[in-house]
Copies of this chain bind each other. A is one copy, B any other.
Amino acid sequence: MLYLIGLGLGDVKDITVKGLEIVRKCQRVYLEHYTSVLGSCTKEELEAFYGREIIMADRDLVESFDHEGSNEDEILKGASTDDVAVLVVGDPFGATTHHDLMLRAKEKGIETKAIHNASILNAVGACGLSLYKFGETVSIPFWQDEWKPESFYDRIVSNRKNGLHTLCLLDIKVKERSVENIMKKRNIFEPPRFMSTQQASQQLLEIIERRKKEGEGASNGSEVFDETAECVAMARIGCDDQKMVFGDLGQVMAHTDMGKPLHSLIIAGNIEDYEREALTPLKP
Contact = CB atoms under 8 A, between A and B. Distances in A.
Contacts of A203: none
Interface residues on A, range: 35 or more
A220 interface: no
Nearest to A278: B99
A14 interface: yes
Interface string A105-137: 010000000101111011101101011111111
A137 B12 CA distance: 31
Contact of A13 (B10, B21, B118, B122): B21
A39 to B, nearest CB: 11
Contacts of A12: 17
A128 B116 contact: no
A118 B116 CA distance: 6
A116 B106 contact: no
B125 A93 contact: yes
Nearest to A120: B122
A48 to B, nearest CB: 14
A93 B118 CA distance: 11
A92 B277 CA distance: 17
